[in-house]
């Protein structure tokens, strides 16, 4: 991997921040790199407050949206909440359904089936709504491109309110209201909410109109923080407040469904990484392997005893998902070798029997091994359907667009997309996709770049320094956990391999008569090289490790370079 330092802010800005908030120079640099450059911004960053959320009525179309919902409730109309099958969509649907059911029983949640219906609003789903005598559909985490579908609904006397966070096309659906801060005509001050975040702004607006105590809405922030973290939106401004307060809610008083899904979690504090690695995969697994309504029902449970059967089902489905993902990844890696494509500029693998729900994850796993644009396909009748994932600086959506004459359909964004093509065009598509990738990826892009915050000596690390790092949580995009570089490290004789098959490397590093412990996951093969080296450089983050009542710092080593 290539190591690249973040730019160091100018000396005056660092000194000013040091004097205003009383932190060390190193910590002031780390904060200034994140745009925290004075007392006011530091206070907002370290002490996120509910009252600092923006006025929801600043969002374009918010008033028409609340007016139409109130009208529907007053007239006893049936309202359909139309979500999506990923974490954001499921949490969004649970949020709106639970909130609106406080006012009416005529709320019907609907999540499409991943395999048979696919993503977004469909005419078939609207036909079901017509039969059910629905007169208002609120789409959440989808709908911004549903121009024809909204027109079809309108012709059948169904109004639409769209709550979406995806980038709109030049034309907006002709709905009663379209809530999307990414609209060019929307002056809402924060553009990076997830779908559930948009749903939260809607219930915040309704609460104001109904003269409710809006602080009661904090009870919903466990759902919104889960969706925000799972959808990998930037954690600054409103997203930071939502996630900070949502994590507090999850740690103190989570809803029964979340509590049930975290029942096997053995750690102390629940953080963003717990949501990413423990909770989100379980919620996603239902939609990937079976149907997302299982996860929706669980998140809407009001009593813990009602969650038992559903949480057991979902945990079992998640185990099945992990096994399927592991098996498929292994088969895909074998296929790459058998085809002799290790040195290609792109990856395309396919199998008629791979499960469509896990191929996106498999594409990401393959990028961990071969850092290049990756497409994984499975068969559906005469067609291949699949997921595409990309690397830094390569627009996978544009790559598919260049090959669009060979595709039935495709969609997505710069780093993730979906596609469908006829089996007869697979060979030609593979050739064209590789040609485009080879032409548009530089040699530099083929090496993954790790960006670090600061180069420090290990002796600069102490619990006081770490406590400030802890207060920088929640971590996520735009506020990643600080990464440090330390040079000319020396290993002691205690350094050894650990884990199954001695897969991991546990390091004992000496610096100024003190020993620092570190773990390099999956790097057990480096043991002999470390022992025979003249020192090494490391890139790492820092964690707290408590064992038998003793607390010490542990280095999570992301990369290591030998000095020979």
Sign, CA torsion 128/132/137/139 = negative
Handedness of CA 374, 366, 84, 249 (dihedral sign): negative
Q: Closest Cα partner for 52 from 252, 254, 215?
A: 215
Residue 138, H or E segment = strand 134-140
Query: Cα(529)–Cα(533) distance, rounded to whole angstroms?
Result: 6
> What's residue 335's pLDDT?
97
**Fold observed for domain 453-562:** OB fold (Dihydrolipoamide Acetyltransferase, E2P) (2.40.50)
Decide whether 56-216 matches 339-440 in CATH topology: no
How far from each other are the two terminal CA atoms of the chain, in whole angstroms? Answer: 17
56-216: what CATH class?
alpha beta
Taking residues 521-534, report their average pLDDT: 85
Tokens of 402: 């260049």
**Whole-model pTM?**
0.91
Residue 409: pLDDT band with limits 50, 70, 90? confident
> Can you spell out the DSSP letters for 271-324?
-HHHIIIIIHHHHHHHHHHS-THHHHHHHH-SSGGGTHHHHHHHHHHHHHHHHH
- Residue tagged 């749903």 (tokens): 199
What radius of gyration, in Å, describes the C-alpha atoms of the chain? 25
What pLDDT was estimated at residue 265? 86
Q: Rounded distance, CA 170 to CA 176, Å?
A: 18
Beta bridge partners of 79: 107, 136
CB 559, CB 3: distance < 8 Å = yes
151 three-state secondary structure: helix
pLDDT at 280: 95
From residue 125, alpha-carbon distances to 146, 165, 325 in Å are: 12, 21, 30
C-alpha 240/C-alpha 238 separation (Å) is: 5
100-107: average pLDDT: 97
d(CA 296, CA 132): 20
Residue 107, beta-bridge partner list: 79
Segment 220-243 mean pLDDT: 95
Across 352-493, the runs of DSSP E, i.e. the strands, are 374-380, 383-389, 409-412, 416-422, 449-452, 454-455, 484-491
When mean pLDDT is compared across 97-111, 346-360, 409-423, 544-558, the lowest value belongs to 544-558
Query: What is the average pLDDT value for the chain, to the nearest integer?
Result: 93
The average pLDDT across 214-237 equals: 94
Residue 563 has pLDDT above 90, yes or no: no
* Cβ neighbourhood burial of 230 (10 Å; 0-12, 13-18, 19+): buried
Pair of tokens at residue 182: 């990414």
Point out which residues pair with 514 in neighbouring strands. 511
452-509 per-position pLDDT tens digit:
999 999 988 888 889 999 999 999 999 999 999 999 888 888 999 998 888 899 999 9
Q: What's the topology of domain 339-440?
A: Diaminopimelate Epimerase; Chain A, domain 1 (3.10.310)
The answer to whether residues 295 and 331 touch, using CB atoms and an 8 Å cutoff, is no
Residue 229 has pLDDT above 80, yes or no: yes
pLDDT value of position 549: 72
Q: Please, are residues 126 and 149 in contact by the beta-carbon 8 Å criterion?
A: yes
Position 236 confidence tier, pLDDT thresholds 50, 70, 90: very high
Among the residue ranges 123-132, 248-257, 315-324, 543-552, the one predicted with the least confidence is 543-552
Q: Which residue has the higher pLDDT, 266 or 88?
A: 88
Which H helix or E strand runs over 95? helix 87-100
CB 529 within 8 A of CB 564: no
Checking if the pLDDT of 117 tops 90, the result is: no
pLDDT at residue 139 greater than cutoff 90: yes
C-alpha to C-alpha distances, 456 to 460, 479, 484, 558, nearest whole angstrom: 7, 20, 7, 16
- Among residues of the chain, what percentage have pLDDT more than 90? 79
How do the domains of the chain map onto residue ranges? 56-216, 339-440, 453-562
How far is it, in rounded angstroms, from Cα 479 to Cα 468? 14
From the list 392, 361, 394, 356, the residue with the least C-alpha distance to 377 is 356
Residue 548 is predicted with a pLDDT of 72
Q: What is the pLDDT of residues 55-82, one digit of tens each?
A: 999 999 999 999 999 999 999 999 999 9
* pLDDT for position 558: 95
- The answer to whether 288 touches 325, Cβ cutoff 8 Å, is no
Q: Where are the beta strands (DSSP E) in 44-130?
A: 78-82, 107-110
| Torsion angle of the four alpha carbons 394, 398, 404, 406, in this order, in degrees rounded to the nearest 10 | -10
Write the pLDDT tens digit of every residue in 125-136: 999 999 999 999
The answer on pLDDT for 551 being more than 80 is no
pLDDT for residue 545 = 79
Q: Is the pLDDT of residue 353 over 90?
A: yes
Tokens of 347: 């990856």
């Amino acid at each position: 991997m290539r190591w690249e330092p973040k730019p160091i802010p100018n000396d005056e800005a660092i000194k000013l921040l040091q004097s205003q908030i009383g932190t060390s120079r190193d910590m002031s640099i780390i904060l200034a790199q994140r745009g925290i450059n004075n007392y006011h911004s530091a206070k907002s960053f370290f002490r996120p407050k509910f009252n600092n959320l923006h006025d929801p009525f600043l969002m374009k179309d918010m008033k028409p949206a609340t007016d139409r919902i109130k009208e529907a409730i007053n007239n006893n109309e049936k309202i359909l909440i139309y979500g999506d099958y990923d974490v954001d969509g499921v949490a969004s649907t649970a949020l709106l359904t639970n909130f609106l059911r406080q006012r009416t029983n005529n709320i019907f949640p609907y999540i499409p089936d991943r395999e048979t219906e696919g993503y977004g609003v469909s005419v078939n789903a609207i036909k079901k709504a017509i039969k059910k005598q629905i007169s208002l559909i609120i789409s959440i985490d989808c709908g911004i491109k549903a121009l024809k579908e909204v027109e079809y609904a309108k012709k059948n006397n169904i109004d639409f309110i769209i709550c979406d966070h995806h980038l709109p096309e030049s034309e907006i659906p002709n709905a009663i209201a379209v809530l999307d801060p990414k609209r060019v005509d929307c002056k809402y001050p924060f553009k990076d909410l997830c779908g559930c975040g948009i749903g939260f702004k809607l219930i915040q607006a309704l609460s104001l109109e109904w003269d409710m105590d809006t602080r009661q809405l904090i009870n919903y922030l466990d759902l919104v923080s889960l969706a925000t973290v799972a959808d990998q939106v930037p954690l600054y401004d409103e997203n930071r407040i939502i996630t900070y307060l949502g994590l507090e809610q999850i740690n103190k008083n989570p809803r029964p469904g979340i509590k049930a899904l975290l029942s096997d979690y053995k750690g102390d504090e629940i953080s963003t990484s717990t949501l990413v690695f423990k909770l989100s995969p379980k919620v996603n697994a239902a939609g990937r392997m079976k149907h997302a309504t299982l996860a929706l029902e669980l998140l809407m449970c009001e009593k813990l005893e009602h969650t038992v059967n559903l949480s057991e089902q979902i945990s079992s489905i998640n185990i099945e998902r992990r096994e399927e993902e592991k098996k498929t990844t292994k088969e895909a890696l074998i296929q790459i070798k058998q085809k002799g494509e290790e040195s290609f500029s792109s990856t395309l693998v396919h199998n008629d029997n791979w499960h469509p729900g896990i191929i996106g994850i498999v594409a990401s796993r393959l990028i961990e091994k071969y850092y290049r644009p990756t497409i994984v396909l499975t068969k559906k009748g005469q067609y291949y359907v699949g997921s595409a994932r990309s690397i830094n600086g390569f627009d996978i959506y544009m790559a598919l667009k260049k090959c669009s004459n060979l595709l039935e359909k495709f969609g997505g964004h710069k780093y993730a997309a979906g596609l469908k093509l006829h089996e007869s065009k697979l060979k030609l598509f593979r050739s064209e996709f590789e040609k485009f990738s080879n032409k548009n990826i530089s040699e530099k892009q083929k090496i993954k770049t790790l960006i670090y915050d600061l180069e420090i000596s290990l002796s600069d690390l102490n619990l006081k320094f770490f406590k400030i790092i802890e207060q920088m949580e929640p971590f996520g995009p735009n506020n990643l956990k600080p990464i440090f570089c330390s040079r000319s490290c020396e290993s002691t004789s205690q350094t050894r391999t650990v884990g199954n098959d001695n897969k991991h490397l546990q390091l004992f590093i000496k610096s100024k008569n003190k020993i620092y412990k570190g773990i390099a996951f999956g790097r057990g093969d480096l043991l002999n090289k470390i022992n025979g080296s003249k020192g090494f450089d490391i890139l790492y983050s820092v964690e707290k490790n408590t064992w038998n009542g003793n607390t010490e710092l542990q280095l999570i080593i992301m990369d290591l370079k030998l000095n020979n």
